[in-house]
Structure 1
Amino acid sequence: MQLYGNPDLTGTERYFDKDEVIVSKTDTKGIITYANRTFGRLAGMTPQQAVGKNHNIIRHPHMPRCVFKLLWDTISQGHEIFAYVINRSLNGDHYWVLAHVTPSYNKAGEIVGYHSNRRVPNREVIDTAIIPLYSSLLEIEKSHESPKEGMMAGLNKAVEVIGGSGKEYNHFIMSLGG
């Protein structure tokens, strides 16, 4: 995945320790309501600066939109999801995570937000499986004139790849070596 050629990207990867966990919470619209110090350090802002911002402030342009569609469709239905994600720091650096996103509920059992823990991903999985998959999904997305049609075509390809594994999505992701 080429990280250069975009003036907003530095091509520099940031890392965090395997014992650290990036934590953030959002409301149902994706507005950050809590971020820990690890989130702030990697994103390039203080946790206080993150609160009130849309979580997509750290969205990297090389992250396929179809993966986020799958994520939002899953969590909004009350299910947890695991996903490999490349994020962008405010200065244009990037960092990879293995995210675990779960819905948060109120006492009435209604979804009121989402909680995400991100850990250091398996680098071999990133290099050998995720980067090639995400590159192909991005190509599919960009090959359509309509962004929505491109996202849906990418999603169909992702579903085809996962279905071909004979596993449910979360089992497929974790079987890669998360």
Structure 2
Amino acid sequence: MDPESVQNASQKTSTKANEIRPTGNQLSLDDHEIIVSKTDLTGKIKYVNDTFIRISGYSEVEMMGVQHNVVRHPDMPRAIFHLLWERLGRGKHVFVYLINLSKNGDHYWVMAHICPSFDAAGSVVGYHSSRRKPDMKIVNDTIIPLYKQLSDIETAETSKKAGLEKSADAFDKIFRAEGVKYNEFILSL
């Protein structure tokens, strides 16, 4: 497919993604499956594997050049992405539980490991994400209530910025209270 056709497909994907409504139907990865994607520095998708294509419902062409948040579920607190991008911006890797939205509105949970990709000179040139099936007991017992708490904090504020700041602060206090750093907290669940 020529570059112009790819660009047109990705623009249509971005527009349609904003219109997707969650169905409430949960999809699940098999235990052995891993979703892999690579992005540029701004989060635009440069590579997706077949597992990502299958579970997301998007074709490879639809995903190329599109912001990775095309699969972002509306129940994801913004504070989680704030922390994720803050860590990646410092050249650090991050582990995070994510609920993603497929093209048809179904959702799926993943445990993601996201890390910077470096060039030969040591400069960050993009990001690499590997995602696998999470322990659903942890998701149901800990992550869903935590993310609801953070989302409620965010939506209680009239200002999106204030909501994000309060939610991020509340999240930071949780893992600091445990006496661990963020990745240690997530991996201890």
State whether TM-score is above 0.5.
yes
- Report SS of the residue matched to 1:17: coil
> Which of these residues, 73, 77, 80, is aligned with residue 86 of structure 2?
73
Match of 2:140 among 105, 127, 141: 127
Structure ranking higher in helix proportion = 2
Whole-Å Cα distance in 1 between the matches of residues 61 and 113 of structure 2? 22
Does structure 2 retain, via aligned residues, the 8 Å contact 1:137–1:158? yes
Secondary structure of the 2:186 match is helix
Which of 152, 155, 166 is 2:168 aligned to? 155
Structure with bigger gyration radius: 2
Under a length normalisation based on structure 1, what TM-score does the superposition of the two structures give? 0.94
Mean CA deviation greater in 128-137 or 36-45: 36-45
Tell me the CA shift for residue 48 of structure 1: 3.0
Partners of 2:20 and 2:104 within 8 A in 1 = no
1:56 maps onto 2:96 in alignment? no
Unaligned segments of structure 1, at least 5 residues? 1-5
Query: How many residues get paired?
Result: 171
Identity within the alignment, %:
44
Matches within 5 A, 1:77-88: 77-88=90-101
In structure 2, what residue type is equivalent to 1:107? A
TM-score by length of 2: 0.88
- 1:1-178 map, 5 Å: 8-176=21-189
Per-residue CA deviations over 1:63-116 (Å, capped at 9, x if unaligned) read 000000000000111000000000000111100000000000111211110000
Mapped partners of 2:30, 2:60: distance in 1: 18
Question: How far does the alpha carbon of each residue in 1:28-68 deviate from its partner, in whole angstroms, 9 at most, with x for none?
Answer: 00000000011111111122321111101000000000000
How far apart, in 2, do the equivalents of 1:76 and 1:13 lie? 32
Matched residue of 1:28: which SS? coil
